[in-house]
Chain A
Amino acid sequence: MAVSGFEGFEKRLELHFFGDDPMLGLEMGIGMGLGLRQLDFDSLQQVLHAVQCTVVSAVGNHYFDSYVLSESSLFVYPTKIIIKTCGTTQLLKSVRPMIQHARLLGLSLSSVRYTRGNFIFPESQPFPHNSFQNEVVFLEDCLPTNLRFRKASVMTSKLPSHSWHVFTAAAELDLSDESVFTVEICMTELDAASAGKFFRRPNDGKSGDSAGKEMTEITGIGNINPRALICDYAFDPCGYSMNGLVADRYSTIHVTPEDGYSYASFETVGDKNDVARVLKKVAQVFRPAKMSVSTTSCSSPEVWKRVAAALESAGLKCRSFAADEFPAAGAVVYQTFAARRN
Chain B
Amino acid sequence: MAAEEGQVVSCHTLEAWNEQLQKGNESKKLVVVDFTASWCAPCRFITPFLVELAKRLPDVTFLKVDVDELKPVAQDWAVEAMPTFMFLKEGTIVDKVVGARREELQQTIAKHTASSASA
Contacts and interface: CB of A to CB of B under 8 A. Distances in A.
- Chain B binds chain A: yes
Contact of B82 (A34, A59, A207): A59
Contacts of A229: 80-81, 98-99
Contact of A58 (B39, B41, B104): B41
B65 to A, nearest CB: 13
Interface residues of A, number: 28
A60 B41 contact: yes
A59 B41 contact: no
- Which interface class (under 10, 10 to 19, 20 to 34, 35 or more) fits B? 20 to 34
Interface string A61-91: 1100111000000001000000000000000
B103 A59 contact: no
A95 interface: no
A38 interface: yes
Contact of B41 (A30, A44, A213): A44
Interface stretch (B19-27, B42-50, B87-95): B42-50
Sort A-B residue pairs by CB-CB distance and give the 3 closest, nearest first: A207-B103, A58-B42, A59-B99
A15 interface: no
Contact of B107 (A40, A207, A231): A207
Interface of B: 37, 39-46, 67-68, 80-83, 98-104, 106-107
A245 B41 contact: no
B44 A61 contact: no
Given A58-B46, A60-B81, A40 B41 contact: yes
A133 interface: no
A245 B81 contact: yes
B106 to A, nearest CB: 8
Interface string A199-233: 00000000111100100000000000000010100
Which among B43, B44, B68, B81 has the greatest number of chain A C-beta atoms within 10 A? B81
A30 B37 contact: yes
A171 interface: no
Given A31-B39, A57-B100, A59-B82, 19 more contacts: A30-B67, A37-B39, A40-B41, A40-B44, A41-B41, A41-B44, A41-B45, A57-B99, A58-B45, A58-B46, A58-B99, A60-B40, A62-B80, A65-B41, A76-B41, A207-B103, A210-B103, A229-B80, A229-B98
A55 interface: yes
Interface of A: 30-31, 34, 37-41, 44, 55, 57-62, 65-67, 76, 207-210, 213, 229, 231, 245
Given A58-B45, A210-B104, A38 B39 contact: yes
Contacts of B81: 59-61, 229, 245
Nearest to A67: B42
A148 to B, nearest CB: 32
A304 to B, nearest CB: 33
B104 A59 contact: no
Contacts of B104: 207, 209-210, 213
A197 B106 CA distance: 25
Nearest to A61: B81
B41 A208 contact: no
A2 B102 CA distance: 34
A38 B100 CA distance: 17
B103 A60 contact: no
Contact of A31 (B44, B68, B102): B68
Nearest to A76: B41
A60 B43 CA distance: 8
Contacts of A57: 99-102
A210 B101 CA distance: 10
Given A31-B68, A209-B103, A59 B42 contact: yes
A65 B83 CA distance: 11
A210 B104 CA distance: 7
A31 to B, nearest CB: 5
A193 to B, nearest CB: 28
B48 to A, nearest CB: 10
9 contacts: A37-B41, A39-B41, A41-B44, A55-B45, A60-B82, A76-B41, A209-B102, A210-B107, A245-B81
A65 B100 CA distance: 11
